[in-house]
Chains A and B, each alone.
Chain A
Amino acid sequence: MKKSVRIASLIVSAFMVLTALAGCGKSDGGDSTAIKIGSIGPTTGGNAIYGQAVKNAAEIAVEEINALDSDIKFEFNFQDDESDAEKSVNAYNNLKDWGMQILMGTVTTTPCVAVSTESNADNIFTLTPSASSTDVIGGQPDADGNIAIPRKSNVFQMCFTDPNQGTASADYIKNQNLGTKIAVIYNNGDAYSTGIYQKFDAEAKTLGLDIVSVTTFPSEDTKDFTAQLNAAKNAGADLLFLPIYYTPASLILAQANSMKYEPKIFGVDGMDGILTVDNFDTSLAEGVMLLTPFSADAEDEKTQAFVTKYKEKYGDTPNQFAADAYDCIYALYEACKAKGITSDMSAEDICTALTEQFTDPSFVFNGLTGTDITWKDTGEVSKEPKGMVIKNGVYVGM
């Protein structure tokens, strides 16, 4: 018995020595002139469309930047997490072994809450393209004014926060006088959807908007929305607010249509992508309104160049996740240039410098998802959401 314990402990300690040595070997190698940017997101599984978009767009941005005549060069490493928090933390540890100096990620919210806590402890600068919950950045008081998660000072967002979208949507509906009786259907199994709904509800109450029906569904896999739509119809709602992703939204549109219920539909950035669903009958989405920072149909030169390049390379129209990721890499590039960051600096030093740069009010970034983008000390981005409406199968500004 004793002998076997001794042998086991020998094996374990030998293994530990080996891994320690392996770690040493790794940190010496690699391209010494490029700054290592790690990124994590789902490229397989149910949310693969988001991770794939981020990966593709970031690769385009890195390629463009490396072709520039500049001292700043990037090396990009993307890891799959299947939108699972545990796998995401494992991917994060892999990237740390690789020698990651900056983290651009993670793509989806729940994994990002876990990973940003790790990166905060390790002092690795983190800029997420699309994880929109306030739990990602921390430091936000809840309804009772308590701060459950302290501010993670190294974490910043490129996308709007969920509350931000809820408030903006209610303001927009009020200002444009879009509806008098409002029904909401949201996914109560999802932090993103619930977060937007709560702020929408609070703002609607202050503005005096009349919410006549609120119903929920438990998961992205939900197929039947007839009960929810019936409730909205019976309450006489003329505007349906859908703070949800486009997969359930497309089902809601189809079922409302077969029930011959035709309210105005108002969505948030999760609705973006509905027109790219294969074989989707775009006439169902006619007149759908949404707030989104990016539209692939925008006429400006920057957007058109990006969309053309993306289509050529990946045969697909980029969505707002792609645009946010592209902006992330360029924002990092500009911040690195401003602070004179070099690849031989430690991740901690880079983090201190970049945090200083992002919280500096004079740091203004112009990208695909907005102009005059700035960041607050809280980690939230400040940019204007654009109201879009779908007409003849394309987005048109409202």
Chain B
Amino acid sequence: MTLISNLINGISLGSVYAIIALGYTMVYGIAKMLNFAHGDVIMVGAYISYLSTTALNVPPLLSVLIAMVVCTVLGVVIEGLAYRPLRKASSLAVLITAIGVSYFLQNAALLIWGSAPKSFSSIVPFDSISLFGGDLIITSEAIVTVITCIVIMILLNLFTKKGKMGKAMRAVSEDKDAAQLMGINTNFTISMTFAIGSALAAVAGVLLCSAYPTLTPTTGSMPGIKAFTAAVFGGIGSIPGAMLGGILLGVIEIFATSYISSQLSDAILFAILIIVLLVKPTGLLGKAVKEKV
């Protein structure tokens, strides 16, 4: 029973990582950049949802929508102000800028909302499910997170495979210059990618804080790093890969804590990552791209 209970907890933690990883992987797959500010957009999303429920008394589900709208705007603004001017610059410059944006968001949050932690009330309206006479408890947040994660993955996959916008995104991801020659507005396409990624970040923020209800300006940074790891683990750029990587990461983390050593859980986690990358450098589901010289 402990095993199943740990497995469920692992999947629940992993699906939070997976939703965050979806944002990383999408932006990387299309814009070919690591948006390290993604974790902090999550934090902003959680604060917006928190403030709209506590200060404006908005119902929880509507607060998620508000958070999504605010984060979408924030994502597009960040992309336009910080990343678009660097489109032709080296990838290192973009990476440093992303880290700068991350620090900017954290410190702006510190200035606006203060450093004292806030307690986030869960947006999930129903109670935990108790099975086998209370031996096995599945929290309501876990159920909602897992379902949301699967739904988002399916929708994203459909969107990038079927829609016109999705096709444009794939074209930009394959060859930016050729896509432009074919009449695709690459700047708009990349903006859209950021918009979707940031809306996902808002959902991730709300789910993260529903499951783990403390909210501080640094809330997004550690899950952000773990989710980035998950995206690399699953094969960065691949949508099912992000999902798989996230869930595996969560399960490994919980199992390592319970069965090996709570002191070594992070060390074990990253050791597994290194081994996977040594054996399969593109990650579990990543495709190897041949460089043409």
Contacts and interface: CB of A to CB of B under 8 A. Distances in A.
Interface string A246-261: 0100110011001110
Contacts of B216: 46, 247
B139 interface: yes
Nearest to B225: A221
Contacts of A218: 263, 265-266
Contacts of A216: 262-263
A260 B213 contact: no
A215 B257 contact: yes
Nearest to B130: A260
B118 A278 contact: yes
| Most B CB within 10 A of own CB, among A47, A224, A230 | A224
A172 interface: no
Nearest to B13: A224
A228 B50 CA distance: 28
Contacts of A255: 212
A258 B222 contact: no
Contacts of B263: 188, 216, 218
Report, as a range, how many residues of chain B touch the other chain: 35 or more
B137 A260 contact: yes
A150 interface: no
A223 B222 contact: yes
Contacts of B221: 221
Interface stretch (B2-10, B66-74, B276-284): B2-10
A15 B253 CA distance: 54
Interface in B62-116: 107, 110, 114-116
B24 interface: no
Contacts of B116: 48-49, 276-278
Q: Determine the main DSSP class of B at the interface with A.
A: helix
A47 B141 CA distance: 29
A251 B213 contact: yes
Contact of B118 (A46, A224, A258, A279): A279
B214 A260 contact: no
A250 B118 CA distance: 10
Contact of B110 (A48, A217, A223, A250): A48
A44 B115 contact: yes
Contacts of B205: none
A288 B254 CA distance: 26
Interface in A12-27: none
B115 A45 contact: yes
B134 A44 contact: no
Nearest to A52: B115
A389 B195 CA distance: 48
Contacts of B254: 224, 226-227
A366 interface: no
A231 interface: yes
A227 B117 contact: no
A260 B118 contact: no
Nearest to B128: A258
B223 A280 contact: no
Nearest to A46: B218
A44 B222 CA distance: 19
Given A48-B115, A258-B140, 9 more contacts: A188-B262, A223-B208, A227-B258, A250-B119, A251-B213, A258-B137, A276-B116, A279-B119, A281-B121
Q: Considering the complex of A and B, which 8 residue pairs feature the smallest CB-CB distances, nearest first?
A: A48-B115, A280-B119, A227-B257, A221-B222, A223-B212, A226-B9, A227-B258, A278-B118
